Amino acid sequence: MSTVDTGGRPVESPGQSPLPGDTDRVRAVVRGLGELLITAGLVVLLFVVYEVYVTDLLSAGKQREATAALDTAWNAPPDPQQPEQPEQPEQQRVEHFDGLAEGRGFAKMYVPALGADYAFTILEGTTERTLEIGPGHYLSTAYPGQPGNFSVAGHRVGKGAPFNDIDLLNSCDAIVVETRYSWFVYRVLPKKEEVGTWSTGKAVDPRCNGVSPLGAPYNNVVGQEIVSPRNSGPIAPIPGMPGAETSVGEQVTLMTLTTCHPQFSDRERLIVHAVMVKQWAKDPAHADVRPPELKETA
């Protein structure tokens, strides 16, 4: 039996196809294309795994480091030169937020309604790098406990997903912010559909003490809203009125959370507004005393 050389490839037995060389080439191209498509599919699947799980792992480590760094800073004496100055404790126990560097942790937030272990260190700034570590504070918005709008952005998918479930927050749910010297308790404002019936409805809940629809110029500020990404209104001192000029003294002490919406998309932004209802100064003699709001896990 004689063989014909067709470019080094073994020749198929004649009779199956009139042009064995062409069929082989077509088959190779089709197979190569199929393998490419399968590979592309696997890469996309792998990307989902990366986005939803791997970034969580990486961010969890960074968040742990940020929390450890913050704890170290809080436990250090305020002024290393004069660690013992008991005669002026009032002056020393004042928060200093000015001059915070991008990506530095300065507060912790707790949302007991999302679980007793829900705790994140909030960092300064909202760049990609910072938000990989944890929730980030919008520069130029107020700091915890200050009049104005303490605004924080957080990821909803991957990267630790700190704000994954903030759509589940109900009005009056507590958002507790811990700083070096204080605890600040914010509570989610009434939602749009609750505003009308607030005084006869949810207001009777003891948890809602201090929470009520805000008067002018805050009429349109509700517990939850969904806005366009181009809308900077939600983080303005008076949410929804970015240009409004009010003196700091007239401003309500608000907190705003922003994240992407709907989940797995960034078409819109989910916004949660809360109002401060209580604040405690930490007692240096009883450093382990924690606000009772942290137990509202139900």
Chain positions contacting another protein, by CB under 8 A:
31-32, 35-36, 39, 43, 46-47, 50-51, 54-55, 126, 128, 131, 138, 153-159, 163, 227, 229-235, 258-260, 264-267, 269, 271
- Comparing CB distances to another protein, the nearer of 229 and 292 is 229
Backbone angles phi, psi at 273, to 5 degrees: -110, 140
**Residue 102 or residue 250: which is nearer to another protein going by CB?**
102
Peptide bond into 292 cis (omega under 30): no
Nearer to another protein, 209 or 265 (CB): 265
Q: Which residue has the tokens 């939850």?
A: 224
Alpha carbon of residue 47 to chain centroid: 21
Residue 185 or 255: the one with the smaller Cβ distance to another protein is 255
Least distance to another protein from the beta carbon of 213, Å?
A: 23
- Least Å from the CB of residue 177 to another protein: 19
**Is residue 133 a contact partner of residue 206, using CB atoms and an 8 Å limit?**
no
* Inter-CA distances, 274 with 19, 116, 188, 259, 267, Å: 75, 19, 4, 15, 23
Residue 78: exposure state from Cβ atoms within 10 A (0-12, 13-18, ≥19): middle
Q: How far is the CB of 74 from another protein (least distance, A)?
A: 27
User: Minimum CB separation from another protein for residue 230, in Å?
Assistant: 5
CB of 104 to another protein, least distance (A): 18
For the CB of residue 227, give the shortest distance to another protein in the complex, in Å: 7
Burial 49-77 (b: 16+ CB within 10 A, else e): eeeeeebbebbeebbeebbeebeeebeee
Taking the C-alpha atoms of 142, 143, 147 and 149 in order, what is their torsion angle to the nearest 10 degrees? 50
Would you say 190 or 234 has its CB closer to another protein? 234
Considering beta carbons, is residue 271 or 275 the nearer one to another protein? 271
Token output for 213: 């629809």
